[in-house]
């Protein structure tokens, strides 16, 4: 039992490692809160455990169990984004180290490249339907989505929301990056039923 626990935590090859499940579970719980849904968590945890064998919510479980949610939910922690030359020295950049010059570059945009790479690792097809890819930046949750434009909740003023960024990738594929609160607030609770 003890060996299984530590192997699960430190096995980075496993997609269901403890850190990944912990992150996914926190995102799903945040989604419930920001969508204005108040589920009976104990009941949902038991259903999740019965179906997956894990007491933590995962994106796969959420997407299959809540098929009426209007988008495919996924996400990941994004660390390394690329390199940048500063004063003749090439430096590695993590997501939290990016500045405005990295974010608004028309070519070789480190943020967009890192997001697209991570979305593709999750096997999300831009043309298959709506998706929301959640990622943390320091202590705040952001998401990249393909809703076509930034979205805002009625309960959250666009003036109080952090900056959103929309970028055309190829053809008509637009990727919008903004905090999760207005996106989940916009979606609301109409998809949820017990």
How would you write the pLDDT of the chain (194 residues) with one tens digit per residue?
555 555 554 444 444 565 677 899 999 999 999 999 998 988 898 998 899 888 889 999 999 999 999 999 999 888 888 888 888 899 888 888 887 777 777 677 788 888 888 888 887 777 778 899 999 887 889 998 888 777 776 665 555 556 666 666 666 677 888 889 999 999 999 999 87
Greatest Cα-to-Cα distance within the chain, rounded to the nearest angstrom: 58
Whole-number pLDDT of residue 12: 44
> If you ran DSSP here, which 8-state letter would residue 56 be given?
S
Give the per-residue pLDDT at 3: 58
Q: What is the DSSP letter of 84?
A: E
**To the nearest 10°, the Cα dihedral for 51, 52, 53, 59?**
-130
In the three-class reduction of DSSP (H, G, I as helix; E, B as strand; rest coil), residue 31 is classed as helix
pLDDT at residue 168 in the model: 65
In this prediction, residue 184 carries a pLDDT of: 93
pLDDT of residue 66: 93
Please name the residue that has the structure tokens 């990944």: 20
The whole model's pTM is what?
0.79
Residue recorded with tokens 């039923």: 193
Neighbours of 9 (CB within 10 A): 13
Which residues on neighbouring strands pair with residue 178, listed in sequence order? 143
pLDDT at 78: 87
Tokens of 41: 């968590």
Q: Calculate the CA 59 to chain-centre distance.
A: 10
Hey, is 71 helix, strand or coil?
A: coil
CB 28 within 8 A of CB 178: no
The C-alpha atoms of residue 70 and residue 129 are separated, in whole angstroms, by 9
pLDDT recorded at residue 62: 94
């Amino acid at each position: 039992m003890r060996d299984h626990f530590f192997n699960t935590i430190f096995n980075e090859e496993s997609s269901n490692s403890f850190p990944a499940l912990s992150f996914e579970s926190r995102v799903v719980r945040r989604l419930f809160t920001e969508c204005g849904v108040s589920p009976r968590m104990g009941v949902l945890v038991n259903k999740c455990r019965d179906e997956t064998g894990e007491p933590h919510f995962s994106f796969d479980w959420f997407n299959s169990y809540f098929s009426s949610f209007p988008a495919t939910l996924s996400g990941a922690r994004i660390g390394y984004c690329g390199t940048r030359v500063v004063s003749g020295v090439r430096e590695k950049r993590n997501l939290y180290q990016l500045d405005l010059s990295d974010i608004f570059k028309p070519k070789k945009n480190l943020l967009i490249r890192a997001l697209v790479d991570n979305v593709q690792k999750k096997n999300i097809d831009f043309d298959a339907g709506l998706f929301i890819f959640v990622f943390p930046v320091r202590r705040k949750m952001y998401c990249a989505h393909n809703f076509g434009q930034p979205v805002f909740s009625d309960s959250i003023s666009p003036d109080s929301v952090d900056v959103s960024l929309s970028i055309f990738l190829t053809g008509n594929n637009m990727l919008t990056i903004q905090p999760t609160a207005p996106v989940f607030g916009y979606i609301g609770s109409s998809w949820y039923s017990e």
